[in-house]
Chain A
Amino acid sequence: MRRSRTVFAFLATSAIVVGCSSGGGGGGSAAPSSEAPAASSPAASESAGASESASAGASAACNPPKQDGVTLSFTSFGGVYQEAQRKAWLTPYTELTGVQFTEDENSSNATIKSQVEAGQVTWDVVDVGNDFGLDVHKDLLEPLDFTLIPKDEMNADLGITDYRVPDITYGVVLAYNTDVLGAGKVPAGWADYFDTAKFPGKRGAWDYSEGGMFEFALMADGVAPKDLYTPTLDLERATKKLDTIKDDIVFWQSGAESQELIGSGEVAMTMIWNGRGWSAKNIDKKPVEIQWNQQIVTADYLVVPKGSPNKDAAMKFIAYASCADVNAGPSQYIPYGPTNTKSTANPAMVNDLSVTNADENSAYFNDAYLGEHFDEIDAAWQAWKGT
């Protein structure tokens, strides 16, 4: 009898422990490097400032004033990504201005929303994916100070709004495993991704309706990159194309998983964030190559939550991170590129950058469109998955 009581005590404790870890396990899919869903729009906002004030703003951005005693909170996605941002931006900024940083590594749109709604905003500068910072989020964000931030130097294709400025570019690309495909077989673009006769093997895809799979399916079907969203994203056409390889698709939930899938050869080709493809090849030493043709160029953005206690200091820092001399800093460490068109990226890394490989075949996410039509797009994705 006593043993059954001990057993039940075990059971109760374990139930609590496992219950907590099941819940926690559920949240463990966030990518350490940027995990941004679909991004920017070619419909860039016009910069209203005269070029004179813009260049004056630019030099002010690169030379921030001394601000001793100020502590800023910086939140990003952790891992090597945040470390690169730290080394390129945070540390030099501290040396220049005396501003101290407290960092968080768990950037999440939902956290920003709950902080603002509760009136307890602790985050000042947040790195977010391309699904945030749009005009629909104006209740959650401070409008950025574009007298400081050099807006007209930034890449206009990346969907700058009043509330966000892009800080780092990356590409959603086609990666392929050369061992699985065999020597001499190189996919030229997304049409080859959908051609399992010529390139047998499984295909990896991000399990997210706005991750880019619909766009890639349309491009494979012959839609020009600039026509992807006009007049609407043709979900029916994309779904029909996706149906042709449905049985061969393997879904991944996180960047790490995509890196693992292509590196191990579990899939012959996959859509992947270029940083992950780079890591599979250069860090894991796997036979993985990237096909840059028809990539989707996208970015992560810096935003300031509404009600942030250090708003002015946050704006000065964002201006610094956006200025031409500093913006390309992270490319010293990771294959993610600058968003400032006047920046020079690390020569050793420049060929691995999305922006360097961007051409007329590259596409850009229309964030505003995707934000507005999410329910429809997601419903189509779920419906396609289920049939």
Chain B
Amino acid sequence: MATADEARSRTWPSLVSARPRVNRWSALALPAVVFLIAVFLVPLLAMALRSVTDPPGAGLSNYQQFFEQQAYVRVLTNTFWVALLATLTCLVVGYPFAYLMTIVPGRVAGLLLIAVLLPFWSSLLVRTFAWQVLLRDTGVINRFLLDSGFISEPLTLIRTTSGVILGMSHILLPFMVLPMYAVMRRIDPEYSRAAANLGASPLSAFLRIFIPLSLPGVLAGCLLVFVLALGFYITPALLGGLKDQMISQLIVQQITQRLDWGFGSAMSVLLVAITLTFLFVASRAVRLRDLFGSTTEE
């Protein structure tokens, strides 16, 4: 076995260095793969099948029913729009934070890491309700501003798209910060110093050296946040207004109240299909390996 590897490395060096090492230990992953296929992939396919067979002989009628309703299509586009806005907000807030984590001393970076991870350990529902308490007309922020006399009428902070984005960004921020931080950690500070030596200003070095090197992490973080944001349900329902409905609310209604599982499946399939398309397009730009940590390089 070892000699075969050596022989291969002598004749095809570039191929071997790029190929992930597959050996018998990889078989340990087999139970997990089987589990995922059985519990995740098979139901997904069953649902896709259901979208064209329920009611019997439906064909594409469920999809037709969806696209016929202007209101439903608007909800679908709103879902993607809100997810995009949430991603951008997380990017704008998360990038400086991740950069900060790379330049402060190790202990402080550890504290910042905990600050980012801590929200994970409280329930999503609790966090959303906390935002409600903060943002609503009789909530903490408005009460404070009213009592100190800055305003005379409560500000409309809740039941707006900005309220939804705020809540979603708060919950999704760790998913943006962590991939970016991991990539930024690996950027050798020597590069920036070399740029300075060659006459670049700090800003120029940052823009032309650091940012391009950090792009894989940025794209990975954006991808993760975007895909997660598409499935959000409770946060838009509690913080949003009339126009902020997301498609997951419609799906839940069809499945649990209406019992029209064919139609609900059709909407779910649409959501999954569009998400997978985004993933596919993005995978051309991002090495998905970076998302899960590479083991063969560096």
Residues of A within 8 A of B (CB): 1, 3-5, 7-12, 14-15, 17-19, 21-23, 25-29, 37, 108-110, 113, 131, 202, 207-208, 246, 249-251, 253, 257, 264-266, 374-375, 378-379, 382-383, 385-386
A25 interface neighbour in B123, B228, B253, Cβ under 8 Å: B123
Residues from 60 to 106 in B contacting A, C-beta threshold 8 Å: 65, 69-72, 74-75
1/0 contact string of B247-273 vs chain A (CB within 8 Å): 010101101111101000000000000
Residues of A within 8 Å of B8, CB to CB, are: none
A386 interface neighbour in B237, B243, B256, B261, Cβ under 8 Å: B243
Q: Closest CB-CB distance, A133 to chain B, in whole Å?
A: 12
Q: Would B71 and A108 count as touching, CB distance under 8 A?
A: no
Distance, CA A28 to CA B234, complexed state (A): 8
Q: Would A23 and B185 count as touching, CB distance under 8 A?
A: no
B138 interface neighbour in A109, A264, A378, Cβ under 8 Å: A264
Residue pairs across A and B with CB atoms within 8 Å: the count is 121
Distance, CA A382 to CA B242, complexed state (A): 9
Q: Would B75 and A382 count as touching, CB distance under 8 A?
A: yes
Q: A1-B186, A5-B293, A379-B69 are in contact. Are A18 and B120 (CB under 8 A)?
A: yes
Q: Closest CB-CB distance, B47 to chain A, in whole Å?
A: 13
Q: Closest CB-CB distance, A269 to chain B, in whole Å?
A: 14
Q: Closest CB-CB distance, A115 to chain B, in whole Å?
A: 13
In order of increasing CB-CB distance, the 6 nearest A-B pairs are A382-B71, A26-B233, A8-B293, A4-B182, A383-B71, A25-B234
Q: Closest CB-CB distance, A326 to chain B, in whole Å?
A: 30
Distance, CA A97 to CA B185, complexed state (A): 70
Q: Would B125 and A110 count as touching, CB distance under 8 A?
A: no
Residues of A within 8 Å of B233, CB to CB, are: 22, 25-26
Chain B: interface secondary structure?
A: helix
- Chain B residue nearest to A207 (CB atoms) is B237
Distance, CA A383 to CA B243, complexed state (A): 10
Residues of B within 8 Å of A10, CB to CB, are: 117, 178
Residues of B within 8 Å of A4, CB to CB, are: 182, 185-186, 293
Q: A15-B175, A15-B224, A19-B228 are in contact. Are A26 and B243 (CB under 8 A)?
A: no
B182 interface neighbour in A7, A14, A246, Cβ under 8 Å: A7
Q: Closest CB-CB distance, B182 to chain A, in whole Å?
A: 4
Q: Would A1 and B237 count as touching, CB distance under 8 A?
A: no
- Chain B residue nearest to A4 (CB atoms) is B182
- Chain A residue nearest to B185 (CB atoms) is A4
Residues of B within 8 A of A (CB): 65, 69-72, 74-75, 113, 117, 120, 123-125, 128, 136-138, 159, 171, 174-175, 178-179, 181-182, 185-186, 224, 228, 231-235, 237-238, 242-243, 245, 248, 250, 252-253, 255-259, 261, 291-293, 298
Residues of A within 8 Å of B255, CB to CB, are: 110
Q: Would B159 and A250 count as touching, CB distance under 8 A?
A: yes
- Chain A residue nearest to B258 (CB atoms) is A374
Residues of A within 8 Å of B242, CB to CB, are: 246, 249, 251, 385-386
B71 interface neighbour in A251, A374, A379, Cβ under 8 Å: A379
Q: A19-B228, A131-B257 are in contact. Are A202 and B137 (CB under 8 A)?
A: yes
Q: Would A385 and B245 count as touching, CB distance under 8 A?
A: yes
Q: Closest CB-CB distance, A66 to chain B, in whole Å?
A: 38
Residues of B within 8 Å of A266, CB to CB, are: 136-138
Q: Would A11 and B175 count as touching, CB distance under 8 A?
A: yes
Q: Closest CB-CB distance, B269 to chain A, in whole Å?
A: 17
Distance, CA A385 to CA B234, complexed state (A): 18
Q: Would B234 and A386 count as touching, CB distance under 8 A?
A: no
- Chain B residue nearest to A113 (CB atoms) is B259
Q: Can you list 11 A-B pairs, Cβ within 8 angstroms, ordered by A?
A: A3-B185, A7-B181, A8-B292, A12-B292, A14-B174, A22-B232, A25-B125, A26-B234, A26-B248, A208-B257, A385-B242
Residues of A within 8 Å of B178, CB to CB, are: 7-8, 10-11
Q: Closest CB-CB distance, A84 to chain B, in whole Å?
A: 24
- Chain A residue nearest to B237 (CB atoms) is A253
Residues of B within 8 Å of A131, CB to CB, are: 257
Q: A22-B232, A266-B136 are in contact. Are A109 and B257 (CB under 8 A)?
A: yes
Residues of A within 8 Å of B235, CB to CB, are: 25
Residues of B within 8 Å of A29, CB to CB, are: 234, 237
Residues of B within 8 Å of A250, CB to CB, are: 159
A21 interface neighbour in B123, B253, B256, Cβ under 8 Å: B123
Distance, CA A76 to CA B68, complexed state (A): 37
Residues of A within 8 Å of B248, CB to CB, are: 26
Q: Closest CB-CB distance, A92 to chain B, in whole Å?
A: 32
Q: Closest CB-CB distance, A185 to chain B, in whole Å?
A: 19
- Chain B residue nearest to A14 (CB atoms) is B120
Distance, CA A25 to CA B178, complexed state (A): 23
Residues of B within 8 Å of A382, CB to CB, are: 69, 71-72, 75, 245, 250
Residues of B within 8 Å of A109, CB to CB, are: 256-257, 259
Residues of A within 8 Å of B136, CB to CB, are: 264, 266
Distance, CA A113 to CA B75, complexed state (A): 27
Residues of A within 8 Å of B137, CB to CB, are: 202, 266
Q: Closest CB-CB distance, A5 to chain B, in whole Å?
A: 5
Distance, CA A113 to CA B238, complexed state (A): 28
Q: Would A37 and B257 count as touching, CB distance under 8 A?
A: yes
Q: Would A108 and B256 count as touching, CB distance under 8 A?
A: yes
A18 interface neighbour in B124, B182, B261, B298, Cβ under 8 Å: B124
Distance, CA A264 to CA B69, complexed state (A): 37
Distance, CA A208 to CA B252, complexed state (A): 12
Q: Would A385 and B243 count as touching, CB distance under 8 A?
A: yes
Distance, CA A354 to CA B21, complexed state (A): 71
Q: A8-B182, A11-B179, A113-B259 are in contact. Are A28 and B245 (CB under 8 A)?
A: no
Residues of A within 8 Å of B298, CB to CB, are: 1
Name, among B74, B248, B293, the residue most crowded by chain A CB atoms within 10 Å (CB to CB).
Answer: B293
Residues of B within 8 Å of A379, CB to CB, are: 69, 71-72
Apart from A109-B259, A249-B242, A253-B237, 12 more pairs, CB < 8 Å: A7-B113, A7-B181, A8-B182, A8-B293, A14-B120, A21-B125, A22-B234, A25-B125, A131-B257, A374-B258, A378-B258, A382-B69
